[in-house]
Amino acid sequence: MRSLGFTLLLVVTAAIICALAGLQWRNGNFDSIFGAPPTPVGQRIYDSFSPNQVKFIRIAANGTSASFALKSNGWQAASPWTDRMDPRAAVAIINFTLGMRVEDVAHKDEIDTVKVGLEEKSISIRLEDENRQSLAKYRIGRVSSWKADIDGREQPAPTLFVRTRDENHNDHVYLCTGDVTPLFKDGLKFLRDHRPFYFNPIALEKIRIRSQQGDLTLGRASAGSPWRIIKPLDLPTDSKAIKTLIEGIFELQAVKVSDRAATTLPASDNAIKTNQIALTPFGSASETILEIFPPDSPESRDVKAIVSDRPDTVFDIPIKPEPGLTSIADLPLAVNELRDPSLTHLNIQSLRSISIQPATGREILISRTPPQPWMASVDDQTFEANEENLFSLLKAVTTHRATDFVSDAATDFTPWGLDRPFLTLRFLGQDNKALELRFGMDSAGSYFANRLATPTVMRVDTALIQAIAVRPYEWRHARLWSLDRYHLTSIIRQQAADAPLVLKYTFNPEAWTAERDGKDLTNTLNTQRANYMLSNLEGLKIKRWLATDDEGALTALATPSLTFTVFEKTVDTDDNDTGVSIRTLTLAPSPGNHPGFYYGQLNSETHPFLLDAQTYQKIAVDLFEE
């Protein structure tokens, strides 16, 4: 018969076995009894939770402790200050925790914790879920000299010493990738959000600004609608300026954040109002107001500011440009900085006619009936319009921007010369919608523009005026001539003082002969170069037509550098020969050793023209083998 002691021993053993089985069933292992094994090299220490599970963060470093909670208005600090946590810091801490890859591992007894910076005052981090259950708990030591290579990263990653403090998982010290230690310097001040505003740009409905330039309000009907200035005037906005403003407000960052109880704000001065930036999201009746106090002196580089949803915080915000920071000076806060400076928003596809009316010249009408090309009409003459000048005009009035808005309430346009404009442009669309632009010049020689039936006067750049061709001959098509190689018989080319080169051509079989001073040069003629020259002559386009009395052209063409005399057969409607057409093209360089362009004139034309240097070189190509 077994003794009572032996029986009790069996009962206790059975109980222990059952308890261990229960623990294994509950935890999946015996880590709570014997401790978890170390995380292997190459694996992450924490991979059992996702970033969105983290609702609480606790930090301790150098005697300072802080606790943060994720709420509907972002990460908020309960201690050591009651304020908003910088959401970028929260993201960095969570991502660092989940990204810690083990590079090396050792048992705690094999490591001098003081040497690796893991003493009791080292940085301690704890992440918790919504039930305050621990997701990660560890200490951070010093950064090591070892750099880790990571796939997809050009530069090696820093590493630091980490000791996990999770229950039953604290027996090892790891060398892990990453480094967030700069966040925890200077009493954890970098965990406090130095940006006054925290908002979703997509959800913004209204922005109100009070500045020394005046008060204005921006608004939009929906998240997808364009922003407009709604006060003091209803005006369209410049999308680039709006983008700069919203991004700047979002990134506006203080150089210093203080508790309001420990800070003296500037005394109020009724003569000088504080500046304000106020944001209102869709669905809210209240504003978040940033109030910016005047600088202490003109030399001050920052100013004090407070924001309505962080009543215990005072910001020192840069008022002048600062490297790496967004300052007040970087924000477009005036009406004229935010309004749309475009002269027009023409729908080019629906445009049907353009009237160009210089004050001292004839009206030029440019029109089209798709799919026909644009035509120019002057007096009773109609011809194909110059596409380059048309493109230049349309580009000028759609891309040039007003350099200043000098008035939004003009009734007398005399001060800007707009009562008697020197140029008027009228645009008519397919839907019969018309737009008229008037251009004037004041006594100082500055240029101004006004859209008919509006009180707004805009200052414009000289380059805009220069981009608009206003002389009838400038609207002639850039194509100089139509040379038909089928009827071509010969070309006489003469370069400077050289003897003329006679080139005879037969279309079929595209044969050339060459002669100079009665000497046959056909054997040394490079026919490929001759064909290349002919191809460029066929569709020769000029750069710009000039006035008949252009002094530069007349002077240069008196001593030409290149002359072409082209002989072509003329035929009747039945293709019978009726004679020979002779045309002469004369070219001469502009002044200088390396001419940027060449003057030219066709013997049948009264107007000279400009030819670009590249085209000139193509038709002046050397035709003979070396």
Domain closes at, from 448, 475, 502: 475
326 and 369 co-located in one domain: no
Q: Is 80 exceeded by the pLDDT of residue 88?
A: yes
255 and 358 co-located in one domain: no
385 half-sphere exposure, CB direction, 13 A CA radius = 26
Quote the tokens at residue 467: 């981009």
Looking at the DSSP bridge assignments, the partners of residue 303 are 317
Burial of 172 (C-beta count, 10 Å sphere; 0-12/13-18/19+)? buried
45 and 180 co-located in one domain: yes
- Stated as kind and residue range, the H or E segment containing 551 is helix 551-557
**CA dist., res. 226 & res. 242, Å (int):** 10
Per-residue model confidence (pLDDT) at position 30 = 37
Q: Is 70 exceeded by the pLDDT of residue 109?
A: yes
Read off φ and ψ for residue 602, nearest 5 degrees: -95, 140
Q: ω into residue 295 within 30 of 0, thus cis?
A: no
172 and 280 co-located in one domain: no
HEC states along 430-448?
Answer: CCCCEEEEEEEECCCCCEE
> What is residue 478's DSSP assignment?
S
Per-residue model confidence (pLDDT) at position 166 = 83
Taking only the tens place, the pLDDT of each residue in 133-182 is 999 999 999 999 888 887 777 788 899 999 998 876 778 999 999 999 99
In a domain, 480, yes or no: no
Assign 271 a pLDDT band (cuts: 50, 70, 90).
Answer: low
500 and 600 co-located in one domain: yes
In a domain, 84, yes or no: yes
Assign 461 a pLDDT band (cuts: 50, 70, 90).
Answer: very high
Quote the tokens at residue 55: 């609702």
Point out the least confidently predicted range of 85-89, 117-121, 304-308, 350-354.
117-121
Burial of 249 (C-beta count, 10 Å sphere; 0-12/13-18/19+)? buried
450 and 496 co-located in one domain: no
Assign 183 a pLDDT band (cuts: 50, 70, 90).
Answer: very high
Per-residue model confidence (pLDDT) at position 73 = 87
In a domain, 451, yes or no: yes
Per-residue model confidence (pLDDT) at position 592 = 85
In a domain, 343, yes or no: no
Quote the percentage of the chain above a pLDDT of 70. 93
Is the CB of residue 227 less than 8 Å from the CB of residue 217? no
Q: Is 90 exceeded by the pLDDT of residue 279?
A: yes
- CB burial string 469-496: b at 16+ within 10 A, e below: bbbbbbbbbbebeebeeeebebbbbbee
Is the CB of residue 519 less than 8 Å from the CB of residue 624? no
Beta-strand ranges (E) seen in 111-196 are 123-128, 134-148, 157-164, 172-177
Quote the tokens at residue 129: 């879920």
Is the CB of residue 45 less than 8 Å from the CB of residue 96? no
Residue with the bigger pLDDT between 28 and 318: it is 318
303 and 377 co-located in one domain: no
Q: Is 60 exceeded by the pLDDT of residue 25?
A: no
Assign 609 a pLDDT band (cuts: 50, 70, 90).
Answer: very high
605 and 585 co-located in one domain: yes
Assign 268 a pLDDT band (cuts: 50, 70, 90).
Answer: low
Give which of 137, 181, 187 is closest to 163, Cα–Cα: 137
185 and 60 co-located in one domain: yes
Q: What is the pTM of this model?
A: 0.76
In a domain, 625, yes or no: no
In a domain, 500, yes or no: yes
Q: Is 80 exceeded by the pLDDT of residue 626?
A: no
Assign 94 a pLDDT band (cuts: 50, 70, 90).
Answer: very high
Per-residue model confidence (pLDDT) at position 377 = 96
Average of per-residue pLDDT across 555-565 = 96
459 and 600 co-located in one domain: no
Top mean-pLDDT range of 241-245, 261-265, 369-373, 573-577:
241-245
Q: Is 90 exceeded by the pLDDT of residue 213?
A: no
Per-residue model confidence (pLDDT) at position 4 = 38
Work out the angle at residue 414's Cα, subtended by the Cα atoms of residues 409 and 420, and round it to the nearest 5 degrees: 120
Domain closes at, from 158, 191, 224: 191
In a domain, 556, yes or no: yes
Domain closes at, from 292, 313, 338: 338
Q: Is 80 exceeded by the pLDDT of residue 572?
A: yes
**CA dist., res. 212 & res. 364, Å (int):** 46
Quote the tokens at residue 172: 């090892």
> What is residue 227's DSSP assignment?
P
Count of structural domains within the chain: 5
251 and 307 co-located in one domain: yes
Edge-to-edge strand ranges of the sheet holding 313-318 = 235-236, 228-231, 214-219, 204-211, 275-281, 288-292, 302-307, 313-318, 256-259
Q: Is 70 exceeded by the pLDDT of residue 513?
A: yes
Q: Which domain holds residue 372?
A: 348-475
307 and 413 co-located in one domain: no
**CA dist., res. 386 & res. 619, Å (int):** 23
In a domain, 626, yes or no: no
Mean pLDDT of the chain: 90
**CA dist., res. 549 & res. 558, Å (int):** 13
Q: Is 60 exceeded by the pLDDT of residue 369?
A: yes
- For residue 95, CA distances in Å to 92, 127, 472 come to 5, 12, 68
- Stated as kind and residue range, the H or E segment containing 98 is helix 87-99
**CA dist., res. 430 & res. 348, Å (int):** 10
